Amino acid sequence: MMKQNRLGKSDLYVSGIGLGTMSLPQDKKEAIYLIHEAIERGVNLIDTADLYGYGKIETILGEALKGRRSQVVLATKAGNHWEHGKEGWYWDPSKCYIKEAVKGSLKRLKTDYIDLFQLHGGTIEDPIDETIEAFEELKREGVIRAYGISSIRPNVIREYIGKSSIVSVMMMQYSILDRRPEESILGLLEQHDISVIARGPIAQGILSDQGYHKIPKDGYLDHSEQALKNILSNLNEKLSNKRPLSATAIRYVLAAPAVAAVVPGASRLPQLLSNVAAASSPELNDKELEIIRQLSKANVYQNHR
């Protein structure tokens, strides 16, 4: 059984490795097969959003979880306003739309409750008090068990910490190559007992055993192509061979006390198996963590401070 961690102060316990559904196979049967395989291997956190495929992914999940609903912590998101059959969307964190959006998600997911309902983004100009009111009402009504936000914006995260009862923050990116959350947010969330659900731990495949072939010519974030090659070479040279590089990458993110789960995407079974295997690989010791920090860059947020 995969180790589970408590999500903030909620009564939700999530597997250290979750399943992100944005990159599920296009074929419905293949997607359902992958979801079932994840559950069989101890993954209980499944993260989706109403915007993924304009509702298609939630619909597939609804079919996949028939008879298995109680085995998972189901997380979805709202805030991007779209209408079925129409192209495009616009940002709408209003109370009215949040409460309307959850009804659509419940219908597509074929469930009468959502374990973790998340705001899918957010800016400091949003009507934050109104958004929080919507989530709190849904919680009192029993429609959702807990709520969080999906954001990388430190200023927005601080607002929700101070005003709401969020149990989690989904970091859109956190990895050895993107250490911006370490600058101030991880410590602040840990202090307030709010969990992090981290995405992008393998940095678009760069932090994998095939990473050299996945390095973009124009680099990644503030890393040049050559800098990325140097980092991969040094990581492989100076760390032990106890685990594959992808497992090291996932273990690095899980080592942060605030992180309850990482949610790497998977479009094929080998990717899923590699992600799940990281859960049983040895934890990074203090020496290994220090080596990784020395070899990588302590990135900082340039915007949204």
Q: Does some domain include residue 119?
A: yes
Report how far residue 146's alpha carbon sits from residue 168's, in angstroms, rounded to the nearest whole number.
9
Range of the domain at 122: 4-295
Q: Does some domain include residue 301?
A: no
- Structurally, the chain folds into a number of domains equal to 1
Q: Does some domain include residue 300?
A: no
pLDDT value, residue 126: 94
Catalytic, out of 13, 33, 52, 160: 52
The alpha carbon of residue 20 and the mean position of all alpha carbons in its chain are separated, in whole angstroms, by 7
pLDDT in tens, 215-240: 999 999 999 999 999 999 999 999 87
Q: Does some domain include residue 233?
A: yes
pLDDT tens string, the chain, 305 residues long: the values are 799 999 999 999 999 999 999 889 989 999 999 999 999 999 999 999 998 887 899 999 999 999 999 999 999 999 888 777 767 787 899 999 999 999 999 999 999 999 999 999 888 999 999 999 999 999 999 999 999 999 888 999 999 999 999 999 998 789 999 999 998 799 999 999 999 999 999 999 999 988 999 999 999 999 999 999 999 999 999 987 778 999 999 999 999 999 999 998 789 999 999 999 999 999 999 999 999 999 998 888 776 55
Q: Does some domain include residue 158?
A: yes
Q: Which of 55, 2, 66, 74 is nearest to 32 (CA)?
A: 66
Q: Does some domain include residue 107?
A: yes
Q: Does some domain include residue 302?
A: no
CATH number of the domain encompassing residue 194: 3.20.20.100
pTM of the model: 0.93
Give yes or no: 212 in active site. Answer: no
Q: Does some domain include residue 304?
A: no
